[in-house]
Structure 1
Amino acid sequence: MTSARYVVVGAGLMGAATAWQLAGRGEEVVLVERDVPAGPRGSSHGSARIFRYAYADPFYAELVVRSEPWWARLERGAGRRLIDRVGGVDHGRGREPERLARVLEAAGVAHELLGPARARSRWPQLTVETSVLYQPGAGVLDARAAAEAMVELAVAAGAQLRTAWPVRGIARTGAGFTVSGPGGETLDAGHVVVAAGGHLPDLIGELPLPAAFLAGLPRLRVRQESAFHFPYRDPDRPWPTTIREDGGLPVYSLPGGRDAGFRGQKVAEYHGGRPLRSAAAQDGVVDPAHRARVVAHVRAHLPGLVPEPYAETTCLFTSTPDEEFVLDSAGGITVVSPCSGHGGKFAPLLGAMAADLATGATEATGAAGVPARFRPGTAARRRRG
């Protein structure tokens, strides 16, 4: 049996970020992962996630700005670039580019608002009918490399890593907890951080958390999403990330990175995947109807791509009904997820927030401070007395 002040469950982006932050503060940390960090059956695998500032909600735009110093710190510590700043394009009537531009103006984020003709001249590989918001600082986040970097830095700071270590149970024992793993192995912990992503729906009801706290948490929804890689017609033309929304589901695209051999654009619908009970129900099978919708979108709106996918993959989104995050703590357990399919860009900052919660740091003395809107369980407990 191993004892540690903190056991962090899950080594995707959020768990890795929390372990990095805790270990960097000199805390005893054991990070456990059912597979490998940012493994292929989780939400943090792959080399291509959109990093963007464009949110209609000023809160999230400002949160991206707050995340920037943490990304810079991580890249310095890891000695590698984790965000490729290729720029980002948002367009379509449902995307409301003018509104996004006002939000970015208030947040102090560099951007341009272009008319359709000028946008088509700059990006002939796109079909554009509305004004376009361009963010030069947006780009592609290498999710797996970021998670691996945070794990490496956590281990270098003294954390222990256990892979192939699925959690079988978490029980309160005296002033702490016993975390049970494979083959009868156990860990003693003073505090447990649960960052289990799509496995959280299976775990949450089994955690020794106060009933009022559990009652305040939102319903969690897991989807098996699909993404497709399409070859560039002109391999030498630079591509930005794109988000187009015209009343239906938003469709996003981004340079596919090493996952696609650097020769194509990754394209997907946002929240267009199949609902699951939890990550345990995923099968990794792409829905043919989903593929057909994305191919039709490419044919109609991305003329710079050959409308025949040469690679495809699935991943998991775990979301709340309002797509907010859950970052809350009660009774010695901190819950860090879900992040509703858009949380990866905030990972180092959310790790700092989670470390603040776990250690009991206040907003004044902690590294980040935790917004009240991320703490539904604690708010419910306060309301109920």
Structure 2
Amino acid sequence: MNNGHDTTATSDAVDYAVIGAGIAGVSTAWRLAQAGHRVALLDRDEPANSAGSSHGSARILRYGYPDPLYARLLAEAEAGWSELEAAHGAPLITRTGCIDAGEAHDTRRLAGVFAETGVEHTLHSPEEAAARFGGRFAFGTEALWHRRAGVLDAEATVNAMVRAAVVHSANLLTGWEAASVTRRGAGYLVTAADGRKLSAGRVVVAAGGWLPGLLGGLGLPTSFTGALPAFEVRQESAFHFPYREAPDPADPWPTSIHMIEGMTVYTLPGGRDAGHRGQKVAEFNGGPVIPDASAQDGRISEARRARIVDYVGTYLPGLVPEPYAETTCLFTNTPDEDFVIDTCEGITVVSACSGHGAKFAPMLGTLAAGLATGERDVPAQFRPSR
């Protein structure tokens, strides 16, 4: 078993090769290995590295989806989160609650989905919202509150799933950049950019922002690839703003989703990589579109920074409108923001994209592994080839 850099050719065949050690890939590798399959987990760098979409210690976990399917899947994922936290030996989620608000946000429709799917919630009038949250938020509209929301530690989650997969004898190969997948006999040959090769019975591709560049090298029929949605990769910017007053641990700052005309902003308590001393603030799909992850440059424009500083000064009175830290990350979007978990001829493509995959981490592996093995199907809307 190898859980470090591998510089030699790998000839031993495995049942499944999983390409990509972000949240979707490691979750799938964990579930496959847990079921007794021989698994190789391949990553061009290290799991949860900063060039991907699964790094950092703060991602939103919330139930606020207008599509009841996602709310139900999150409820199913709760058991997986408990299982993973037990294996990790520490919490991976901090429950803070979440506020959904804004004149462009249909909070009443969302409240109806909560009622349908059994999510505890309260819809506050503008006056009630101002009384309860006014020192921190100045949204001026109705606000939908649900207490089970919170913040998950993405990096710790990835590492916990890697350890769980390795415990079940998965082989982690880092520094292994997959370049192509070709049919060989009844299985496949995965070839790395440096020429190394790995034989596998089946392949799962969870390459995140590198997926657009890799799709053409998978040897998949055009009838399948042509049915896939266009994948749009964006380099997003996130900023950390200090609290004016340190929050009481018994009353943490909640996360928020605020939709106004032409702008959707999400906020959440910053994690350990920002010193836990402020709120992380970002505009959803506000960054530039790039061809794929290889084109990211980590730069943040002055205009983007100024736009978020102005937003904080207008809507977040509990924060000092001067960022003390900033970062970039990748979103890989589909036009309808649905996941893609689809399969063809022994290759399963997993794109838990559009910036909302992390909260489903244990469930993603269950769905993708089940589809890859043929033991279960996934919701039809995740299978565009259908």
TM range (shorter): over 0.9
Q: Secondary structure at the match of 1:327?
A: strand
Select the residue among 186, 189, 210 that pairs with 2:197.
Answer: 186
Q: Distance in 2 between matches of 1:101 and 1:168?
A: 45
Q: Distance in 1 between matches of 2:199 and 2:304?
A: 45
Q: Which residue of 2 aligns with 1:263?
A: 277
The Cα offsets for residues 65-86 of structure 1, whole Å up to 9 and x where unpaired, read as 1211111111112112111001
Q: Secondary structure at the match of 1:30?
A: strand
> Given the alignment of the two structures, is residue 201 of structure 1 paired with residue 204 of structure 2, yes or no?
no
Q: Which residue of 1 aligns with 2:32?
A: 22
Contact 1:327 1:335 survives alignment (8 Å)? yes
Contact 1:88 1:240 survives alignment (8 Å)? yes
Q: Distance in 2 between matches of 1:251 and 1:339?
A: 18
The Cα offsets for residues 175-208 of structure 1, whole Å up to 9 and x where unpaired, read as 1111112543211001010000000000112211
Instruction: Report the Cα offset of residue 47 of structure 1.
Output: 0.6
The Cα offsets for residues 264-312 of structure 1, whole Å up to 9 and x where unpaired, read as 1000000001100000100011122111111110000001001010100
Q: Secondary structure at the match of 1:94?
A: coil
> Given the alignment of the two structures, is residue 372 of structure 1 paired with residue 380 of structure 2, yes or no?
yes
Contact 1:198 1:338 survives alignment (8 Å)? no
Alignment of 1:313-352 (within 5 A): 313-352=327-366
Q: Which residue of 1 aligns with 2:143?
A: 132
The Cα offsets for residues 27-49 of structure 1, whole Å up to 9 and x where unpaired, read as 00000111111110001110111
Alignment of 1:170-185 (within 5 A): 170-185=181-196
Contact 1:221 1:319 survives alignment (8 Å)? yes
Q: Distance in 2 between matches of 1:120 and 1:148?
A: 40
Q: Which residue of 2 aligns with 1:108?
A: 118
The Cα offsets for residues 82-106 of structure 1, whole Å up to 9 and x where unpaired, read as 1100111111111122221111011
> Given the alignment of the two structures, is residue 219 of structure 1 paired with residue 233 of structure 2, yes or no?
no
Instruction: Report the AA paired with residue 131 of structure 2.
Output: S
Higher helix share: 1
> Given the alignment of the two structures, is residue 248 of structure 1 paired with residue 262 of structure 2, yes or no?
yes
> Given the alignment of the two structures, is residue 64 of structure 1 paired with residue 74 of structure 2, yes or no?
yes
Q: Secondary structure at the match of 1:216?
A: coil
Contact 2:235 2:296 survives alignment (8 Å)? yes
Give the TM-score normalised by structure 1: 0.95
> Given the alignment of the two structures, is residue 149 of structure 1 paired with residue 164 of structure 2, yes or no?
no
Structure 2 portions without partners, runs of 5+? 1-10
Q: Secondary structure at the match of 2:56?
A: coil
Q: Which residue of 1 aligns with 2:247?
A: 236
Contact 2:247 2:253 survives alignment (8 Å)? no
Structure 1 portions without partners, runs of 5+? 363-368, 380-385
Instruction: Report the AA paired with residue 144 of structure 1.
Output: E
Q: Which residue of 2 aligns with 1:83?
A: 93
